Chains A and B, each alone.
Chain A
Amino acid sequence: MAMLEVEDLNVRFYTDDGVVRATNDLSYRIEAGERFGVVGESGAGKSVTSLALMRLIDEPGVIESGEIRFKGENILEMDDEEMRSLRGNEIAMIFQDAGTALNPSYTVGEQISEAIRYHLDLDEAAARERAIETLESVGIPSAAERYGDYPHEFSGGMQQRVVIAIALSCDPDLIIADEPTTALDVTIEAQILELLEEVATEYDTAIQLITHDLGVVAEFCDRVMVMYAGHPVEMAPVEDVYYDPQHPYTVGLMSSIPRIGDDRERLQTIPGRMPDLIEMPPGCNFHPRCPYAEESCTRVEPRLVDVETGEPADPINSDAQTAACLAHTGELDGELDYEVTVRGEDGPAESGPASGSPGVTDR
């Protein structure tokens, strides 16, 4: 049994314009200590997925069906009290924009220690001490003095460190990091990712990293799920996705990243935009934008299948590379006609995708 198992999760938003299908039969798992990436464009359902894990989806959103099992227990069946004892304690969250995620009128120290006091039942002094230790571990210099400072007295990168400290403060088993570096500039982004990697190892914490940046996933994650319009379109160990992507959308995402040593004049973009989640196109949701789409793609909705066997995927029990494209079930007449080239001096074998830079070219 994995630490976290999400099975057939359906989240719907009942808006005045119609029902938004934010996630559709989403299933995945995260093992203890694992780093799991969730990638996709804005609106793909990444953030909704993570808020669902915390049961923090606001009106008019509802988790309509499915199970979210954390350590074997379905959190969707817990009462509010049980859920609260999980939040911030065993499952913690790092938010996108630290500037707004922190309360401007309390000191950062108080914002860290309040969760500690609440969950770990420590007194004021002990909680303070633990908060200062946590601040130190996320690399805030002279943490004891800065304990009493307010968020506006910190820079953006330091604020993000504070948000990470809040997440770490009760030593959670799972951290959901929702685009933790989007609001930061590139050098700070690298520092924050390094920090996350460090503390995840040190605290032995699993991380669900949500991002739209495949480069970040390559550096950071063990496995990755690519989401499109609320569906998982590809799920696999990170190397497989990078060296052998099996879904046209993944390929599109990868060829829109600039790479060092790249001699392309223009980056490729995926034409069109993500469909309206209220009125999804029939068949494969991606077909209006897919260069390989055929007539059958407009009719048949592809299931997530094992790309080797074409059998339906079992994302909760298996590590196999899976993708949701008719090409893998033999229902496509043509083939996914692209080739992945790996540049750089290192081979793909052990060095990992971070240093070798895979690129994708259409033939």
Chain B
Amino acid sequence: MSLQRFVLKRGLITVPLLLGISLLTFGMVHAIPGDPIDFITLFTELDPQTEMEIRAEYGLDQPVYIQYIDWVTSAATGDFGRSIITRDPVTSEIMERLPYTLVMGIMAFGVTLVTAIPTGVIAAYYRDTKIDQASRVFALLGIAVPNFLLGLLLLLVFASWLDLFPILPPTSKGILSYDMLVYTLLPAITIGTGSTALLMRLMRSSMVEELDKDYVRTARAKGLPERTVVQKHVLRNSLISVVTVAAIQVAFIISGSVVVEIVFSYPGIGRLLVNRVGNRDFPVIQAIVLLIGVAVILANFVADVLYAYLDPRIRY
């Protein structure tokens, strides 16, 4: 099977996945205890007449499956309704904050890949030396330290003591401003550290395994320089298992952003989500949870395509 056909086939599978995600999101949000009406009216007693009117306004008088169909069909066009709390369109509320989270997530993933893969390769190549042991210690720490603690530590050291970063994000300057991008490094490193540690060790063990394979000797016997042997032959095969896990890390990075955005007072969708969960702002919660689900599905799709690209045996 050619790569194109593989991509097409794999792409089709995401359609039922997306439907499933939307069902789950909708179902779970509706299973949260508490009637949204109470939050809309701030727990005031209402006469039945007014309550009916408000329910009708938000479509809450319809049977649940009608509510779901209404929600999915308008969500498909990018319309998630209006926030119960602010009365603003959900889409614009999210779009305002999404760039912040996206930039932070991409930065976190970038930091992860840029540090994890080379250090993993080095640890594998110099296995069982001091370098390898140092990477093992770092990995252990990286996995063990929780995000919120690491975030606070980074703020303490780099923002408070060393004064290299402001303590609060310079949000007013916009996400693409230099100051904001620099500030975003801190939460990005915070989120990325756990994934870096994990991927580095995985890269190392995968590489150690590949280095022992016969084809490496074949490549050396061809007289190729050691650099080519490692970078061309070994690295590609070692990356196969790393790519899959890296894609799953995207999910961790997204979910990690929720906590980290609060630690850093970062104006992204994670913080929005936490705020609105407290207020039972269903339209916003649903939209964000759906967005996160879609992002994870997309990441997995990309991982599978990369996987097939790297390992031709997968395409069959």
Contact = CB atoms under 8 A, between A and B. Distances in A.
Interface of A: 54, 56, 84-89, 92-93, 95, 97, 100-106, 111, 114-115, 118-119, 150, 152, 163, 166
Interface stretch (B48-56, B220-228, B269-277): B220-228
Given A93-B218, A95-B217, A101-B214, 8 more contacts: A54-B221, A56-B220, A93-B221, A100-B215, A101-B218, A106-B236, A118-B222, A152-B312
Contact of A56 (B217, B311, B312): B217
A84 B229 CA distance: 12
A87 B219 contact: no
A143 B236 CA distance: 26
A92 B221 contact: yes
B213 to A, nearest CB: 7
B82 interface: no
A102 B215 contact: yes
B224 A103 contact: no
A166 B218 CA distance: 9
A105 B314 CA distance: 10
Contacts of A114: 222, 224, 228, 232
Interface string B114-135: 0000000000000000000000
Interface centre among B222, B240, B311 (most CB of A within 10 A): B222
B237 A115 contact: no
Contacts of A54: 220-221
Interface string B219-253: 11111110010001100110010000000000000
A111 B229 CA distance: 12
A103 B215 contact: yes
A353 B233 CA distance: 43
Contacts of B311: 104-105
Contact of A115 (B214, B224, B312): B224
B60 interface: no
A297 to B, nearest CB: 38
Contacts of B312: 104-105, 150, 152
Given A100-B214, A101-B214, A115 B222 contact: yes
B310 interface: yes
